[in-house]
Amino acid sequence: MKPFSNRLLLLIISGVILLFPSCKRTVINEVKINDFKSLSSEFKSPSKEYTTAPFFVWNYKITKEEIDHYLDEFKKQGSLQVIVHPRPGLITEYLSDEWFELFKYTVEKGKEMGMNVWIYDENSYPSGFAGGHVPDQMPESYNQGQGLNMSKFETLPDTASKYYLCLKEENGKYVNITSTLENEKGKKGKYLLFNKTYNGKSDWYGGFSYVDLLYPGVTQKFIEVTMSGYEKYLGAEFGKTIPGTFTDEPQIKSPGGIRWTPDLFELFRKQWHYDLETQLPSLYEEVGDWKMVRHNYTQTLLQLFIDRWSKPWYKYCEENGLKFTGHYWEHAWPSMRPGGDNMAMYAWHQQPAIDMLFNQFNDSSDYAQFGNIRSVKELASAANQAGRQRKLSETYGGAGWELTFAEMKRLADIHISRTMVE
């Protein structure tokens, strides 16, 4: 047996999940704390559902001996639940039979030790590509284009026919000339041509690119690819030793230009009763009724993200006795490019969440998450409105090795004082 890896241990303690109570509605498999007497008792010796849940990072060749060792270490430190988290360096093949046999062993061992084991839904992050399996099995999840980039011309270039969409200004308005380019040869005017942009390929995504979560069926394929093995090996422990799944920063950013997906124009027209194609300049410049167009466009993307990502996951977890938890890119507000409105997404999680990874105080930067009062209060508000009993925060993971216990308490206090606990 090879010696226990220091690399694994270092990454294990780099992310700790704090779990907090909210208010009302009964959710599956809950321990309720709604009075001070219960809180006082649980604070001294919390039930496993209320202990921290460290990321149990798997980032090389995993063995049963190391699983035994680290579960024992977690329990000694008072953590009675873990989230198994694949990370770069993983040698054990992700979602292979060996992977699921080892995960099954972890759950069985955890059950024996009185611990919960959560599923992390991706090989690293952002969630959605299943370590490359989704784009491999569903090429249309990534090869249709995810953005539209605009270029301006006074005369049409010889390559105009290769562009996805061509507009021309006429009498102060834009018209779609994509199907009549022959009529424009040799003419001068104000032409706007749009080409598709694509998510770039990367080893991070298994040699593919990140997927388009707005494309129909991508989330369902992701759930199928990711969860079918867990169902086969451990379905009987769903909602028991396995409380739920953790999703990490799924996003819908454009790889260039505005965000686009193949049925965007059709759905926009159905919702707002006008064509987005000829209003695209309003998304780039303050022309036309640009405020209305931008609002309607952003609202359309948000609804697609909810309908095609959050709702399918919520439904799957609800039907299988699991809690859908995890977080989005909530730090970057007022930029809506990663996902629109995080509060709207939280409504479709049995246990909505945020992260606060860093230790430096800065209430104006989206990178210095400590001090980001808005994201904490948004989570608390959305959870209360949706009647969620529990909330979660991924905390400490980017705080540095010099992090002290006093600073850890400070980070926890900012959650509590901003109504993470009510």
What confidence score (pLDDT) does residue 186 get? 87
Cα-based distances in Å from 363 to 375, 397, 420? 11, 19, 17
Is the Cβ–Cβ distance between 355 and 396 less than 8 Å? no
**Is 241 buried (19+), middle (13-18) or exposed (0-12) by CB count in 10 A?**
buried
For the four alpha carbons of 107, 412, 328 and 390, in that order, the dihedral sign comes to positive
Question: What DSSP element (H or E) covers 19?
Answer: strand 16-21
Letter for the amino acid at 39? L
**pTM confidence score:** 0.91
How far CA 257 is from CA of 149, 151, 252, in Å, comes to 4, 10, 13
Closest CA to 56 of 80, 30, 20: 80
Q: How far is CA 3 from CA 9, 57, 66, 120, 400, in A?
A: 12, 17, 9, 26, 25
Spatial separation of the C-alpha atoms in residues 49 and 273, rounded to whole Å: 48
Are 243 and 109 a contacting pair, CB within 8 Å?
no
Distance from C-alpha of 155 to C-alpha of 15, rounded to nearest angstrom = 55
The answer to whether the CB of 244 falls within 8 A of the CB of 325 is yes
DSSP 170: E
On whether the CB atoms of residues 129 and 122 are closer than 8 A, the answer is yes
Task: Compute the distance between CA of residue 392 and CA of residue 353 in angstroms, rounded to an integer.
Answer: 5
Reading the block at residue 116, the tokens are 């919960």
Residue type, 2: K
Q: How does pLDDT run along the chain (422 residues), one tens digit per residue? A: 333 343 343 333 345 566 655 544 445 556 667 788 877 888 888 889 999 999 999 999 999 999 999 999 999 999 999 999 999 999 999 999 999 999 999 999 999 999 999 999 999 999 999 999 999 999 999 999 999 999 999 999 999 999 999 999 999 999 999 999 999 988 999 999 999 999 999 999 999 999 999 999 999 999 999 999 999 999 999 999 999 999 999 999 999 999 999 999 999 999 999 999 999 999 999 999 999 999 999 999 999 999 999 999 999 999 999 999 999 988 777 788 898 898 999 999 999 999 988 887 766 665 666 666 788 889 999 999 999 988 999 998 888 889 999 988 888 888 888 765 54
pLDDT of residue 25: 46
- For the chain, first and last CA: distance in Å? 48
Give me the helices (H) in 36-185, please: 36-44, 64-76, 97-112, 133-137
* Residues in a beta bridge with 166: 193
Question: Domains in the chain and their CATH numbers?
Answer: 6-142+201-252+302-417 (3.20.20), 148-194 (no CATH)
Please report which helix (H) or strand (E) contains residue 313, including its range.
helix 311-319
CA distance 410 to 422: 18
Q: Is 7 helix (H, G, I), strand (E, B) or coil?
A: helix
Omega within 30 of 0 (cis) for the link into 334: yes
Where do the H-state alpha helices sit in 355-398?
373-386
The type of residue at 275 is D
- Report which secondary-structure segment, H or E, holds 11: helix 6-12
User: In 183-310, which residue ranges form alpha helices assigned H by DSSP?
Assistant: 218-234, 264-272, 281-284, 290-305
Q: In whole angstroms, what separates CA 139 from the centre of its chain? A: 21
Under a CB-based contact definition with an 8 Å cutoff, are residues 289 and 282 in contact? Answer: yes
Q: Which two tokens stand for residue 347?
A: 């409504």
